[in-house]
A and B are shown apart, each in its own frame.
Chain A
Amino acid sequence: MVDQLSPLAPVLTPGRQGQGPMGVVLAEIAPGSIVQVAAWAGQESALIAIVRDATGLALPDGAGGGIATDTKAAFGFAPGKFLLADQEEGLAAALPKAVTSALGTVTDLSHGRTVIRISGTRAEWVLAKFFAIDFSLPALPVGAGLSTVHHDIFAQIQRSGADQFDIYVFRSFARSFWKSLCHASEEVNYEVR
């Protein structure tokens, strides 16, 4: 298979910016699969069951509910709609077999979204510069996801750890957003991995 070329490739330079402790770490995680599954009204729980069978991830109920492991992630971002990510390729090919047209639809976004991970003690602070979202742990528990926007840049964000967030942006905006993110992180020192 041909490897995907990241839109961040020319601008992502690993290293540390600033003296002293690093407030955040920025990295691209490049899942092999990013897939949207969407249920027709009333078919949400059936779809959740299929997601569990296909990925082993048990989506909690509740709007924005989600779960993340080291290699896989899933979360709701709109009524009946879920985003699934897997470090392996193949999810987009496998899921349509399980999700029948009576249940809902599957849309492959493996190339269409770029996933940027921000972690560290100041991750909430840096994200708060961009998004009008309450990123505190009680308001956005680990695993939970949401859809939001920073001016023209649409983003889906999952909290994948206490101090860690995965930001799914449209690929075409990724470089612009990455630059802004680095700029905003200068205040707290940051490391690119």
Chain B
Amino acid sequence: MIITCPYCGPRDSSEFVYQGEDGRTRPDPASTDQAAWNAYVYDRVNTAGEHEEIWQHSGGCRAHLRLVRNTLTHKISSVSMARHATVPRRRRKAETPA
């Protein structure tokens, strides 16, 4: 599997660590809603199909990425940085100004 890190470009999945299902809501730190905390920690939709999830590019820039990946085909339809709204694009030599 190849994941295209917004910063590093396309990289082998071996450089990444899966960090679980996205879309779970962590309650506000001060929240005392036990059910909401339980749900955050333990409960998963486990979608068969387009799945929102978090990966860390642990063997690269170490940023966490939000992916939409189809769990039936492993096809990745979107990748974005969890923390950084925008990142500069990686340049190839052909694009480098002379």
Task: Please pick, from B60, B63, B84, B92, the residue contacting A148 in the complex, using a CB distance under 8 A.
Answer: B60
Given A77-B61, A146-B60, A148-B11, A65 and B91 contact (CB-CB distance below 8 Å) = yes
Bound Cα distance A76, B93 (Å): 16
CB-defined interface of A138-158 with B at 8 Å, one 1/0 digit per residue? 110100101111000010000
Chain A interfacial residues counted at CB < 8 A = 26
Residues in A neighbouring B93, C-beta threshold 8 A? 137-139, 141
Distance to closest chain A CB from B94 (angstroms):
6
Bound Cα distance A141, B7 (Å): 16
Bound Cα distance A178, B48 (Å): 44
Whether B62 lies near A132 (C-beta < 8 A) is: no
B interface bracket (residues with beta carbon within 8 Å of A)? 20 to 34
Residues in B neighbouring A147, C-beta threshold 8 A? 8, 59-62
Bound Cα distance A138, B61 (Å): 21
A46 at the interface (CB under 8 A from B): no
Whether A64 lies near B96 (C-beta < 8 A) is: no
CB-defined interface of B8-19 with A at 8 Å, one 1/0 digit per residue? 110110110000
Distance to closest chain B CB from A127 (angstroms):
15
Task: Please pick, from A65, A76, A78, A146, the residue contacting B62 in the complex, using a CB distance under 8 A.
Answer: A78
Whether A62 lies near B11 (C-beta < 8 A) is: no
B87 at the interface (CB under 8 A from A): yes
Chain B residue at minimal CB-CB distance from A81? B61
Bound Cα distance A80, B7 (Å): 10
Chain B interface (Cβ within 8 Å of chain A)?
A: 7-9, 11-12, 14-15, 58-63, 81, 83-85, 87-94, 96
| A-B contact sample (4 more), CB < 8 A, given A62-B90, A149-B59 | A60-B91, A78-B61, A132-B14, A141-B96
Chain A interface (Cβ within 8 Å of chain B)?
A: 41, 44, 60-65, 76-81, 132-133, 137-139, 141, 144, 146-149, 154
